[in-house]
Amino acid sequence: MPTRGRIAAGSRGRDPTPLRRVEQVSTNDIFKAIKYAIQLKKLFSYMEEPGHDQMPTLGTLQTEAIGHLAQDMDTLSTLGLCQAFHREESQVPSAIAPCLPTIALLIDAMLPRLRAGGRLLYVGAGNSGRIAHMDCAELHVTFSMSSEQCQALVAGGPRAVLAAVEGAEDSRGDGEAQMKALRPTARDTVIGVAASGRTPFVLGALQSALRAGALTAAVTSARPAAVERLGVGFCIAALAGPEFVAGSTRLKAGSCAKQILNMVSTCAMVRLGKTYRGLMVDVRVHNEKLRVRGRRIVRQVCQGKDLHQTTAALLDLGPQVELDDVADALIVRCGGSVKLACAVGLSGLDLPDAERRLQDAHDCLPDFVLLLENGPQMAERGHQEKQPPLFLAIDGGGTKCAVSIATAHGVVVARATTGPCNPLSASFLDVVAQIQTAVSQAVAALPTASMPTFSRVWAGLAGFHHMREQAAALSQALERLFGGVGCRVRLSCDTSLLSCCLDEDAETEAGIALVAGTGSVAVAFRRTASGEVVQAGRTGGWGHLVGDQGSAFAIGRRALQAILSRRERHIGRDAGADAETTLEADVLRHLRCEDAADLLSTVLSPAGGSVPRLVMGSVARVVTQAAFRSEEASVEALGILDEAAEHLVALVEPLVRPGLAEPGKTVLILSGALMGVDGYRDMVLQKCRERGFQFRKIKVITDASGNAASHLSKLPREEQCTNGSTFL
């Protein structure tokens, strides 16, 4: 007879545990079962989601969304509308603030190019194009930049500045052709402005500039954006949210773009010496307003100097002439150049000598003043100062990006850490942004006023060996960021940073780096007959979906599995049989989860937008603390760690063999957060000894980037990097 009122249980030759009748199952149990099924669905959808590879459609852009004011906007008074509009626009500065490190790095990258005669080229369409055109046009008037050195490409041509040219922005080929006609070079800087980050005309122009090797940047109000995939050197994404009128990017997006372009151009001009104590000294007098301003600037700059005396040989004016008239006459003799007039008024030199000395100071009035006050040895100032060599190492992992800067003596003088930097789990833009932010934070601790030129840069990125398509673009981006004249940049996997440990002992023939952090991997390095250190083998490093046994993620996952399995076994039993273990209580407390029934949803849908993989990895800290506390150590936690340690040694085992890495001639390099836990590290080493692996040396590296930065400083000038790949 068919089972009625029972859950049918299939059998394969075994007697399954009888299940309770449906009518005996409580409503709470049913809800728990449904909730558990939903949680499993979330897990599978999380594992399959494409993530950052999906580009938004136009309708899903932040700027196209309907704002929270829309529902009541039509009922507001005029004053209420104005107040609401003002509140929306007041969000612009806070949207730009996170972009400041990237903007500063862009400016520093522009400076040597502009000094070498490179051009500043803007690209935009519609309102973005008009904003770009406006900033470009003002540079000629305010800072005397020639119309050849600063140009703006606007979709639809010059007439589009005054009136909309519909459809002009939709031609990617037109943008590419117009940029190609300008013949950009590596000395030029090209800034594309597109609120949506996907305007075809702008994308085409930037693509053409990238092919030509120009420094490229994008200003947008959307993220992710199509410009990210181009591989532009700098992507400045100011996210101010929905517009006051949905889709009208002339509002907050336009305000963001204008402020950013104003900031980039103005700060670059200040760094180039086109101002002096906040005065626009590089202006040329062409009209009455500028004549009055120029006169005032000359008098302010030359305050404390007797203009009658310093200009006597040049102007031959009597002492009875008014100072305003002297300043006017001086500017006229200097061809309308206020800066040259200031140089003459400050120095008392004749016109040819003042021009020559100003050229010696790189046409920079602040440097000219230093030259006058301190002699020729001070002519090189600020960006021209000869800085001691510095060496930069970047350790980009799945959890954090750590950077270190070392001096020529191998002393690490600056460090910084930012968020995840794995190209396989973050977009290209995110990776570059994390590196930019980390390096700028480290540089902020240096006495230098701006981004220094590094003698060598080594960036080790997790998952780098899987991203051949992006390798060239990432390499170019880092070269633009840090690749000054004489700088050599190298990209590798993050584990390759550890290969430099072999150089500490000439008798060591090989090394095995065992890394256990968020993920796990083992890599063998071997010294060749020529002395180069090359990668000889690799095990693990498969990522959390396939491998990472012995890692923080795996330990956290195993702890969660143990808790969930125990809960399932105790369904329907007395409460006493369902008592928490010490480890379970610690995990629930760590995750701020009051009920173990909610554990899975807490992990898969964490508060604050955390990544479930990282939440699971954080549980490993709880497990190690429970296992190695001095009182009442958790046997359950010790068992989980013992199992994980077995997996790590299993990664090492295939690499320990003749011709690859013989233990007696090999250094075992332990790195990663878990290898910094004494008890867990001892477990791993004990299991190595049980297998007969007696390594020549054991080295624990807690700061891979710092160790690599110090190593870079010790390399001879023309020597290859330690793993056999020359610096780029």
348 confidence band (pLDDT: 50, 70, 90): confident
**Of residues 169 and 468, more confidently modeled:** 169
Axis crossing angle, helix 200-211 with helix 172-181, rounded to the nearest 10: 40
Residue 719, SS3 per DSSP: coil
Q: What integer is the mean pLDDT of 644-654? A: 88
How does residue 140 score in pLDDT terms, banded at 50, 70 and 90? confident
Say whether 498-546+646-710 and 390-497 share the same fold. yes
> For residue 468, what pLDDT is reported?
61
**pLDDT of 56 over the 60 cut:** no
Q: What is the sign of the dihedral through the CA atoms of 407, 708, 724 and 487?
A: negative
H helix intervals, 375-485: 428-443, 468-482
pTM: 0.53
Percent of the chain at pLDDT exceeding 90: 6
For 79-272, CATH gives 3.40.50.10490
pLDDT, position 189:
93
pLDDT for position 21? 40
Q: Is the peptide bond before 224 cis (omega within 30 degrees of 0)?
A: yes
User: What are the pLDDT digits (tens) for 67-95?
Assistant: 667 677 788 889 988 988 888 888 888 88
Task: Please give the helix or strand (H or E) that residue 73 lies within, else none.
Answer: helix 70-73
Hey, which residues are catalytic here? 138, 169
**Backbone conformation region of residue 444, classed left if phi is above 0, alpha if psi is from -120 to 50, else beta:** alpha
The residues that bridge with 124 in the sheet, in sequence order, are: 154, 193
Assigned CATH for 498-546+646-710: 3.30.420.40
**How far are the Cα atoms of 99, 479, 483, 666, 718 from residue 233, in angstroms, in the given order?**
14, 9, 12, 41, 27
Which whole number is the average pLDDT over 545-572? Answer: 80
- Give the residue-averaged pLDDT of 543-566: 81
Q: What is the pLDDT of residue 451?
A: 64
Q: What pLDDT is stored for residue 367 in this prediction?
A: 84
In this prediction, residue 452 has a pLDDT band, given cuts at 50, 70 and 90, of confident
- CA angle, 434 as apex, 451 and 522 as ends, to 5°? 115
Confidence category of residue 483, pLDDT binned at 50, 70, 90? low
For residues 193 and 154, the answer to whether their CB atoms sit within 8 Å is no
What is residue 379's predicted lDDT score, i.e. its pLDDT?
41
d(Cα 336, Cα 285) in Å, to the nearest integer? 5
The length of the chain is: 728
- Position 79 scores a pLDDT of 93
The domains of the chain are located at 79-272, 277-374, 390-497, 498-546+646-710
CA triple 345-347-350, angle to 5 deg: 80
Question: Per mean pLDDT, which range of 312-316, 380-384, 450-454 is the poorest?
Answer: 380-384
Q: In CATH terms, is domain 390-497 a member of 1.20.140.10?
A: no
Give pLDDT, residue 380.
45
Per-residue pLDDT tens over the stretch 153-196:
888 877 777 777 777 777 888 889 989 999 998 889 999 998 88
Report the pLDDT value the prediction gives residue 476, as an integer from 0 to 100: 67
- The answer to whether the beta carbons of residues 179 and 153 sit under 8 Å apart is yes
Q: Say which residue, 719 or 534, is predicted with more confidence.
A: 534
Q: How much is the mean pLDDT over the chain?
A: 77
Confidence of residue 559 (pLDDT cuts 50, 70, 90): confident
Percent of the chain with pLDDT over 70: 79
| pLDDT mean over 324-348 | 86
Choice among 14-18, 119-123, 627-631, 650-654 with the minimum mean pLDDT: 14-18
Q: Does domain 277-374 have CATH number 3.40.50.720?
A: no
